[in-house]
Homo-oligomer: A and B are copies of this chain.
Amino acid sequence: MGVMKDRPFTPMLERLRDTGLRPTRQRLALARLLFEGGNRHVTAEQLHAEARREEIPVSLATIYNTLNQFRKAGLLREVVVDSSRSWFDTNLEDHHHFFHEATGALTDFEAEGLAVEGVPRAPTGTEIDRVEVIVRLRDAG
């Protein structure tokens, strides 16, 4: 509801064109890594390493450009949980995150079933953009 879900087989090429981004070799290849095969979280360095493994010729600068363009185009969301690097999340549905401090592992959980009540009103001149819930985990003891 709300979010217009892409049909699973919309070719990447079309999806990119729709955002106004030219479907170049690099963007197409990165889009495939990111969007084919389920939701995922990546950092720029991770995606770069993965691209190298798949022998996709793409520079780190382009990885950063592309992640930011995809984010601006609404194809990705940034998740801020870790002050040392930026995470990007392909899951656009309403959801929240588990963050395991010890390992840096980031996992989604659906917002369905979660209720945040009693959020105070936004300060004058502002309005609420999004309520983000981060559940920080430690090893069970």
A73 on the B face (CB < 8 A): no
Cβ contact within 8 Å between B117 and A114? yes
Cβ contact within 8 Å between B137 and A122? yes
A17 on the B face (CB < 8 A): no
A112 CB to closest chain B CB (Å) equals 9
Known A98-B123, A127-B137, A137-B123; judge A115-B115 contact (CB<8 A). Answer: yes
Give a binary string over A99-117; 1 marks a CB under 8 Å from any B CB, 0 the rest: 0110000010100011111
Residues in A68-107 with C-beta less than 8 Å from chain B? 78, 80-83, 85-86, 98, 100-101, 107
| Chain B residues with CB below 8 A from A116, complex form | 114-117, 133
The interface size bin for chain A is 35 or more
Can you spell out 21 A-B residue pairs with CB atoms less than 8 angstroms apart? A98-B122, A100-B126, A107-B123, A113-B120, A114-B116, A114-B119, A115-B116, A115-B117, A122-B135, A122-B140, A125-B140, A126-B137, A127-B138, A127-B139, A127-B141, A128-B136, A129-B136, A129-B137, A129-B138, A132-B136, A134-B134
Besides A80-B80, A127-B140, A130-B136, 8 more A-B contacts (Cβ < 8 Å) are: A113-B120, A116-B116, A116-B133, A126-B139, A127-B137, A127-B138, A131-B135, A134-B134
